[in-house]
Chains A and B, each alone.
Chain A
Amino acid sequence: MGLCLFINPIKGAGDDLPDVGDHAPNIAQIDHYDLSDIDLSPYAALMLPAHLDQRFFGTLTTKIEGFLAQGGTLVFNGHVAWPMLPEFETFVPLESQSLENLIIHRLADHPVFEGVDTQHLTFRRGVAGFYARGYNPPPKGAIALHGVGPDRLPCDWVYHRPEGGRILMHAGNDLWMYAGSKDSTARIVPQLCLWAGGDDHGQGGAS
């Protein structure tokens, strides 16, 4: 299994974020701005935090496309605001944050979310709205994994690039925010690392 490289959030992100290293020991982590200089070839996956300097990341497009073309996996969390990759489009917020509009629906099974109850994604301690409040529009050919609200707006999707590599998009806080949780969302971090670090990049289903 390949190594997942987690990019640490910008240092202003505060002290309120869990350290994913405590819950997924077989990973690598680097400081945010070290991404420009690091050689990505030893890594299977690049894991981006929602607290991302997207203007900085947008200067690395050629490097990231090269990484993907070699079969790499990119996991993106957050709202797309700046130009970064051609597969990304600007975040579309929900028009209304009513409870109905915040409910998460599963649209396709995926190893990262196997055994994760969508009720546990919709609600944390009985409160809805932590998981997604809109979506980053997927490219044609992407597979929507979760939809938010009655229109099932694709807040999570996976895309197998024809040029090689995979992108897993989550339009919300870091998926590793669920590290060590007490409900079925605790499955996400280990399953995410297993999937992203895996070398089976076949086109079958939503894998």
Chain B
Amino acid sequence: MTSRIAALDGGTYYHHRTLYEPRYREFFDGVIYTRELGETVLEDYDTLIVSCRTDPSVLRPHREKFRQFLESGRTLVIMGSTGPAEWISGIEWHFTPTNFWWWKEGGSLGLHVTAPDHPLFDHITLADATWHHHGHLIVPEGAVSLIDVGDLGSVLYDDTVTTPGRMIVTTLDPMYHHGSHFMPATTRFLDGFLPWLKGMTPS
């Protein structure tokens, strides 16, 4: 049995390409226009993806809905640049100046895998998650960071302890760049991340 996934659509061109075009369409059992989230019933879904760069001002009124979704044991995926502190408790995000040019300057982003046995890494490699990021996260006690940036914190963690549900939180923004026909790593990330999510056993 596979997970039934819904994803939020902020109405942008990059969400359109990611959520509606054939490459990933089969992974989404529902696509919810963010401004219609209030009247959408989430009961049918095991997993809800808050797509990267969704406007937090639109999410803020639905704080209780997100909380209940997690209370019912479901999985919430929170992607980068969605301002989660505004609409959910317990996420500690820190801004990092963006180095768009790290790959040209011979430097490193300092990303490293911290949980190599995590099943996500059956689907992606570190290189597939390596592009500029916009911040790092402090991992809640008991949650598992999958990828850290230096010794600052995490850019992707898996939290099955803070709520009865599961939170997968990242500062990465793959939908924006895939949807802009930009940066092949972001497409490779989604090529692995979405099948992994789909293959999760519903709780």
B10 within 8 A of A: yes
Q: Which of B54, B83, B95, B181 contacts A97 (CB 8 A)?
A: B181
Majority-rule SS of B interface residues: loop
Selecting from B11-19, B37-45, B116-124, B138-146, the interface stretch reads B11-19
Q: Is the CB of A52 within 8 A of B134?
A: no
- B17: A residues at CB distance < 8 A: 79, 81
Per the bound structure, the CA–CA distance linking A81 and B19 in Å amounts to 12
Selecting from A11-19, A39-47, A62-70, A158-166, the interface stretch reads A11-19
Q: Is the CB of B182 within 8 A of A129?
A: yes
Per the bound structure, the CA–CA distance linking A127 and B100 in Å amounts to 12
Q: How far is the CB of B30 from chain A (nearest CB, A)?
A: 16
- B104: A residues at CB distance < 8 A: 125-127
Per the bound structure, the CA–CA distance linking A13 and B189 in Å amounts to 20
Q: Which of A14, A80, A134 contacts B173 (CB 8 A)?
A: A14
Which of chain B's residues 161-189 have a Cβ closer than 8 Å to chain A? Answer: 173, 180-182
Q: How far is the CB of A128 from chain B (nearest CB, A)?
A: 12
Q: Is the CB of B181 within 8 A of A11?
A: no
A123 within 8 A of B: no
Which of chain B's residues 76-127 have a Cβ closer than 8 Å to chain A? Answer: 80-83, 95, 98, 100-101, 104
Q: With A12-B56, A32-B55, A125-B104 as known contacts, state yes or no: A82 contacts B11, CB within 8 Å.
A: yes
Per the bound structure, the CA–CA distance linking A10 and B81 in Å amounts to 11
Taking each of B12, B17, B57, B181, which has the highest tally of chain A beta carbons within 10 Å of its own beta carbon? B12
Range of interface residues on chain B?
20 to 34
Q: With A12-B54, A97-B181, A133-B180 as known contacts, state yes or no: A53 contacts B12, CB within 8 Å.
A: yes
Q: Which of B11, B53, B80, B182 contacts A55 (CB 8 A)?
A: B11
- B173: A residues at CB distance < 8 A: 14
Range of interface residues on chain A?
20 to 34
Q: Is the CB of A79 within 8 A of B55?
A: no
A110 within 8 A of B: no
- A12: B residues at CB distance < 8 A: 10, 52-56, 81-83
Which of chain B's residues 1-36 have a Cβ closer than 8 Å to chain A? Answer: 9-14, 16-17, 33, 35
Q: How far is the CB of A24 from chain B (nearest CB, A)?
A: 23
Q: Is the CB of A78 within 8 A of B13?
A: yes
- A13: B residues at CB distance < 8 A: 53, 81
Per the bound structure, the CA–CA distance linking A79 and B21 in Å amounts to 14
Q: Is the CB of A80 within 8 A of B181?
A: no
A sample of 7 more A-B contacts (CB under 8 A), given A14-B173, A52-B13, A94-B181, is A11-B56, A12-B53, A13-B53, A15-B134, A55-B35, A81-B17, A93-B181
A interface, CB within 8 angstroms of B: 10-16, 32-33, 50-57, 78-82, 91, 93-94, 97, 125-127, 129, 133-134
Identify 29 residue pairs between A and B in the complex whose beta-carbon atoms are under 8 Å apart, listed by A's number: A11-B57, A12-B52, A12-B54, A12-B56, A12-B81, A12-B83, A13-B53, A14-B80, A14-B81, A14-B134, A15-B95, A15-B98, A32-B55, A33-B57, A52-B12, A53-B12, A53-B35, A55-B9, A55-B11, A57-B11, A79-B17, A79-B180, A80-B13, A82-B13, A91-B13, A93-B181, A125-B101, A125-B104, A127-B104
